[in-house]
Amino acid sequence: EAGVVQSPRYKIIEKKQPVAFWCNPISGHNTLYWYRQNLGQGPELLIRYENEEAVDDSQLPKDRFSAERLKGVDSTLKIQPAELGDSAVYLCASSLRTTNEKLFFGSGTQLSVL
Amino acid sequence: KNQVEQSPQSLIILEGKNCTLQCNYTVSPFSNLRWYKQDTGRGPVSLTIMTFSENTKSNGRYTATLDADTKQSSLHITASQLSDSASYICVVRLPYSGAGSYQLTFGKGTKLSVIP
């Protein structure tokens, strides 16, 4: 079974440029998460989807970040314009709605904003 | 603010030795506590998930314990291998209380290095 697939693996951009990340969750997983992880820190939730509905986006900086999950499968996370402080690893995860909701993470996209 | 504190921040051990990583949390009540392993450049991988009523759970050479009274959890690694070198993250899940109220609180992780 394929795991959570993210692309690209690495992205280097100049500040003020736009950038987008793509995530394909595990087949059948209705819950999808986007996390941001800074070096030496734990992941921080940006947004959580239940199917195509964003049910928790309270930590998403909406002035520059946007996300979508069309048809409740793949998802994209966009930053426009990027700032130096956005440099981090962006992780996508998916899960089934079960009692313990085990999360499966992708390998992440490492973003460097110069 | 709910917090999950892990110690030590980093640890170096010799191959074949045992080690124990600590997690102290202030989240209460909670639904479950998880330990994840994160290799460099990879996403976290689940090792164990324990509900508040469980004391211990094993996954191969990894054994997690939970003391809900003292709000402490530990991850014990037996007979360490070079492939155990990674960050180990403790995560506490709050109880579900309606749409949009789901929350996982992540610790900063312990970086373990196993050397030959």
Residue of A41, A93, A102 with shortest CB distance to B108: A41
Residue A2 pLDDT more than 60?
A: yes
DSSP state of B25: E
**Closest Cα of chain A to B109: distance in Å?**
6
A95-109 confidence digits (pLDDT tens) = 987 656 789 999 999
Question: Tokens at residue B111, please?
Answer: 């970086």
DSSP state of B31: S
Residue closest to B49 by CA, chosen among B40, B39, B41, B59: B59
A55-69, A98-112, B10-24: segment of lowest average pLDDT? A98-112
How confident is the model at residue A98, as a pLDDT? 66
CB A64 within 8 A of CB A83: yes
Whether A80 has its CB under 8 Å from any CB of chain B: the answer is: no
Dist CA A110 CA A88 (whole Å):
6
Evaluated on CA atoms B90, B78, B67, B113, the torsion sign reads negative
Evaluated on CA atoms A33, B6, B88, A96, the torsion sign reads negative
pLDDT band at A70 (very low <50, low <70, confident <90, very high): confident
Mean pLDDT confidence for B29-55? 92
